[in-house]
Amino acid sequence: MEIEQGLLLIDGIPVHDIDLADLRRSIGFVTQEPHVFSDTILENILFGREGIGDDLIKTVLEASHMASEIDSFPQGIYTHVGERGITLSGGQRQRLTIARALISNPPILILDDALSQVDTRTENAILNAVLEMRPGKTTIIVSHRLSTLGKADIIYVLESGDLVEQGDHKTLLATGKEYTRLYERLQLAEELEGVR
């Protein structure tokens, strides 16, 4: 989509001036809806990119918490998924798409509610591993989970398209405005989930 007004800069360069392929190559974007192709797990992760070493594949699989599960599949990493293969659960698909994004180690990684179908503990572990893999690199996380918020350097609070607050978790909580209300609400929702 095109921007109507204002500027969007990446490393100081307006996005319009960046070659589209280069731009997209420098951003790893994991959406909420994981799309998995009817192919092997390896091909789904590599996704056409060449010259990637086994070590990196292994690291990525570890980071996305896929490694142990893949070992239990009949042909390991060469197992077919999708129509003519095994069916992955929503969480497994999400983790697979995270591995796909991590493999190119992009300067910018965007996780758009990318682990919504993964349980909280695994999500935590994956996020830690992902952040560990990317020292000095930008990671943007869109999330509705409390546990994620503590990890962020900056939290931007958006409200109906407006940026209403920004800062780290502690500062924002201390101001007691929109973020606090949101935080409480999330807390309430998670609490509610926990009610048996």
Residues near another protein, by CB under 8 A: 21, 24-25, 27, 29, 31, 35, 37-38, 47-49, 82-83, 97, 100, 104, 181, 185, 188-189, 191-193, 195-196
- 98 and 18 Cβ atoms separated by less than 8 Å: no
Closest C-alpha among 117, 157, 146, 119 to residue 32: 117
Give the shortest CB-166-to-another protein separation in angstroms. 19
Give the shortest CB-134-to-another protein separation in angstroms. 18
Give the shortest CB-56-to-another protein separation in angstroms. 16
Give the shortest CB-149-to-another protein separation in angstroms. 18
Q: Which is nearer to another protein, 168 or 184 (CB)?
A: 184
Q: Which is nearer to another protein, 16 or 24 (CB)?
A: 24
Contacts of 138-141 with CB under 8 Å at 24 or more apart are 138/107, 138/108, 138/109, 139/108, 139/109, 139/110, 139/111, 140/108, 140/109, 140/110, 140/111, 141/110, 141/111
Give the shortest CB-170-to-another protein separation in angstroms. 23
Q: Which is nearer to another protein, 110 or 133 (CB)?
A: 110
Q: Which is nearer to another protein, 116 or 151 (CB)?
A: 116
158 phi, psi to nearest 5 deg = -105, 140
Q: What is the distance between the alpha carbons of residues 19 and 23, in angstroms, rounded to a whole number?
A: 6
What are the residues facing 110 on neighbouring strands? Answer: 29, 140
What are the residues facing 156 on neighbouring strands? Answer: 166
Q: Which is nearer to another protein, 127 or 182 (CB)?
A: 182
